[in-house]
Amino acid sequence: MIRPLIGITVGRFLDKDKRKRIGCGPAYINEVALAGGSVVLLPPVAEDGSAQAMIEAVDGLLFAGGGDVHGSEFGQPHHPKANEPDRDRDRLELEAARLGAKRGLPMLGICRGIQLLNIALGGDLIQDIPSLVTTDTQHDSKRPLAHTIAVERKSLIASLIGPGTVEVNSRHHQALGRMARGLRVAARASDGIIEAVEADDGRPILGVQFHPEDIAADYPKFRTIFEWLVTQARRFRRSPAK
């Protein structure tokens, strides 16, 4: 069976010895591989033509978690509680998401990734939940399962992890604000924070605010999210658009 090529966006970080590195958590790679995909890591470079070259090379994109996108990318001043952005990564991923949406490329956004997709398509963010939202829900938690979400029936994400009440992990302080045109809400936390979005016209675009890669080994139903991406990428690879 064809193993489609999934591009995973990665960020800059400091290792335990304070040396600069580029990469992502191994769980992203492992889950894509288990789902039947091959992986290429896409570094945060913003040279002219980089995003175009990347989306032409892959069969699907996974926008991984990471730091905060700069507020100027969605028409707001950068919030004092937001962390230092990687402007190269911001620009590369936003351009790749826009080009990918036009091309019909399968795209999955996780945590920062769902936020990136919403910004790329015209939406904005709540830049700091603790200071801007009144809530008792723990959105930044180390617990394996932090809170519940309500998954819309007949949504794409419901077909993957089930409709109704689902427990998820949670590790973020920002969230989707104004929704982009072309996306619809597919799940929310009890305080109204958006937890999943998908394309409203059937395009293969899915974003989740939680981290399925971190809990899929213990809760296998979350592996279906990566299986969906690989299946859609395999179809894209075989399509005339490719």
Classify residue 140 by its DSSP letter: B
Phi, psi (5° rounding) for residue 27? Answer: -65, -35
pLDDT at 102 over 90: yes
Please tell me the least confidently modeled range out of 47-51, 92-96, 106-110, 125-129: 47-51
Query: What value does the mean pLDDT take over residues 114-137?
Result: 97
Helix-helix angle 223-238:26-34, to 10 degrees: 60
54 φ, ψ to 5°? Answer: -65, -50
Global confidence as pTM: 0.96
pLDDT digits (tens, 9 = 90+) for 7-49: 999 988 877 777 878 888 899 999 999 999 999 999 998 788 9
**In the block, which residue shows the tokens 């994109």?**
61
Taking only Cα atoms into account, the Rg of the chain, rounded to an integer number of angstroms, comes to 17
| CATH fold of 5-238 | Rossmann fold (3.40.50)
Domain boundaries of the chain, sorted by first residue: 5-238
- The mean pLDDT value for 198-227 works out to 97
Burial group, residue 60, by CB count within 10 angstroms (0-12, 13-18, 19+): buried
Provide CB contacts within 8 A for 140, sequence distance 6+. 129, 170, 171, 172, 173
Write down the pLDDT at residue 48.
85
C-alpha span between 238 and 127 (Å, rounded) = 39
